[in-house]
Amino acid sequence: MAAGRLRPSLADKARFARLREVPVAMALLARIPEGLKPEREYAVRVLLRDILGLDVRLEAGPPGSVRIELAAEPDAGSIEVADVFLARASGAWLSPETVPRSTLSCWEVPSSLGLPGRRIVNGLPVLFGSEVGDGSFCRVGSGRIEFGVDFFGAAFFLLTRYEELASLERDRHGRFPASASLAGRAGLLERPLVNEYAEILWAAMRLLWPRLGRRLARARMCLTHDVDRPFSGDRSFLRTLRSAGADILLRWDPALAGRRLAAVLPSRLCGAVRDPWDTFDWLMDVSERHGERSAFYFLAGRTDARFDADYTMNDPRIRRLLRRIADRGHEVGLHGSYGSYRSAEKVQSEFDVLRRAAQAEGVRQDVWGGRQHYLRWEAPTTWQSWEDAGLAYDSTVGFAEQAGFRAGTCSEYPVFNLRTRSTLRLRERPLALMDVTLLGHNHMHLSHAAAERVAVRITRSCREHRCPPVLLWHNSSVAARGDRAVYERIVGRAAG
pTM of the model: 0.88
Residue 421 backbone phi and psi in degrees, to 5: 60, 50
Q: State residue 19's pLDDT score.
A: 35
Q: How does residue 267 score in pLDDT terms, banded at 50, 70 and 90?
A: very low
Rounded to a whole number of angstroms, the distance between the first and last alpha carbons of the chain is: 35
Average pLDDT, integer, range 187-210: 96
Least confident of 95-109, 264-278, 438-452: 264-278
Summarize pLDDT for 380-433 with one digit per residue, the tens.
999 999 999 999 999 999 999 999 999 999 999 999 999 999 999 999 999 999
Summarize pLDDT for 130-151 with one digit per residue, the tens.
999 777 899 988 899 999 999 9
Q: State residue 269's pLDDT score.
A: 40
CB under 8 Å to 19, separation ≥6 — which residues? none
Q: How does residue 114 score in pLDDT terms, banded at 50, 70 and 90?
A: confident
> In the chain, where are the structural domains located?
10-208, 222-231+277-494
Q: Note whether 277 and 230 are within 8 A (CB).
A: yes
For residues 153 and 82, give the distance between their C-alpha atoms in angstroms, rounded to a whole number: 9
Average pLDDT, integer, range 43-67: 97
What radius of gyration, in Å, describes the C-alpha atoms of the chain?
25
Bridge-based pairing of strands 78-82 and 65-70 is antiparallel
CB under 8 Å to 352, separation ≥6 — which residues? none
Q: Note whether 434 and 477 are within 8 A (CB).
A: no
pLDDT at 249 > cutoff 70: no
Architecture of the structural domain at 222-231+277-494: Alpha-Beta Barrel (3.20)
* Number of Cβ atoms within 10 Å of the Cβ of 235: 18
Summarize pLDDT for 317-366 with one digit per residue, the tens.
999 999 999 999 999 999 999 999 999 999 999 999 999 999 999 999 99
Q: How does residue 73 score in pLDDT terms, banded at 50, 70 and 90?
A: very high
**What proportion of the chain, given as a percentage, has pLDDT over 90?**
78
For the chain, count helices (H), then strands (E): 17, 17
